[in-house]
Amino acid sequence: MAKHEPDLSLLFHALADPTRRSILTRLAEGPAPVTELARPTGLRLPTVMRHLSVLETAGLIATSKDGRVRSCAIVPEALVPVRTWLDEQRAIWEDRLDRMDEYVMKLMEERTQ
């Protein structure tokens, strides 16, 4: 389709993996270095690094290096476009419901005449 929302695809794709979601949940509680994020996953460091880079590319986390330790932190506002899309989607749906409701009302009115 080549839509003009590459970020949404990046975001949803980043969120589609349980490991990445668990990392985000962990980071919601506060920043953490790579190794600490890796430990509970049971995955090797390079694998986790890849997940982190997916998250960072999507803008969901930000990282900074202090000495040899890279600290990762969540970027909560990155989820805004996701919420916005959900809201828009719901708005269209509800709008349609309203119009359908109106239509049914009109039908019933006509019938009772």
Q: Any contact of residue 68 with DNA (CB under 7 A)?
A: yes
Query: How many residues does this entry show for the chain?
Result: 113
Residue 21's nearest CA partner among 95, 79, 99 is: 79
Q: Total binding residues for a copy of itself by CB under 8 A?
A: 35
**Cβ neighbours around 67 below 10 Å, total:** 5
3-class DSSP state of 17: coil
Q: Any contact of residue 32 with a copy of itself (CB under 8 A)?
A: no
Taking a C-beta distance cutoff of 8 angstroms, is the pair 37, 48 a contact?
Answer: yes
Binds 22: which of DNA, a copy of itself, none (CB < 5-8 Å by kind): a copy of itself
Candidates 1-9, 62-70, 102-110; binding stretch for a copy of itself (CB under 8 A): 1-9
CA 58 – CA 60 distance, rounded (Å): 5
Binding site residues, a copy of itself, CB under 8 A: 1-3, 5, 8-9, 12-13, 15-19, 21-22, 24-25, 28-30, 41-42, 74, 76, 79, 82-83, 85-86, 88-90, 92-93, 96
